[in-house]
């Protein structure tokens, strides 16, 4: 499987789903009026992240992403995952 395809699968089947779940959780906190200011800022950040990954997905689907770019993004995502697991 090409790295572009791996990245596409990861974004579609993992990252976007997790982001959507996070957005739902943040919206629920806002509805409960819990720490609205901070949660609203986090919600805006999550929506921005979703937009970024949606753009990447569009780039992949339109065959505009190179293998090298996909490798670089996959490596960055792996570093983010490692950093998150160390917290």
Domain count, the chain: 1
Range of the domain at 33: 3-86
Q: How much is the pTM?
A: 0.86
pLDDT confidence tier of residue 86, bands split at 50, 70 and 90: low
Distance, CA of 51 to CA of 48 (rounded, Å) = 5
- Each residue of 7-49: pLDDT tens digit? 999 999 999 999 999 999 999 999 998 889 999 999 999 999 9
List the alpha helices (DSSP H) in 1-87. 3-10, 16-31, 36-61, 67-86
């Amino acid at each position: 499987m090409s790295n572009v395809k791996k990245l596409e699968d990861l974004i579609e089947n993992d990252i976007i789903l997790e982001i959507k779940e996070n957005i739902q959780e943040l919206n629920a906190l806002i509805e409960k009026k819990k720490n609205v200011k901070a949660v609203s800022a986090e919600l805006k950040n999550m929506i921005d992240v979703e937009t970024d990954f949606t753009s990447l997905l569009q780039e992949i689907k339109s065959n505009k992403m190179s293998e090298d770019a996909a490798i670089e993004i996959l490596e960055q995502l792996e570093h983010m995952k490692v950093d998150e697991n160390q917290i």
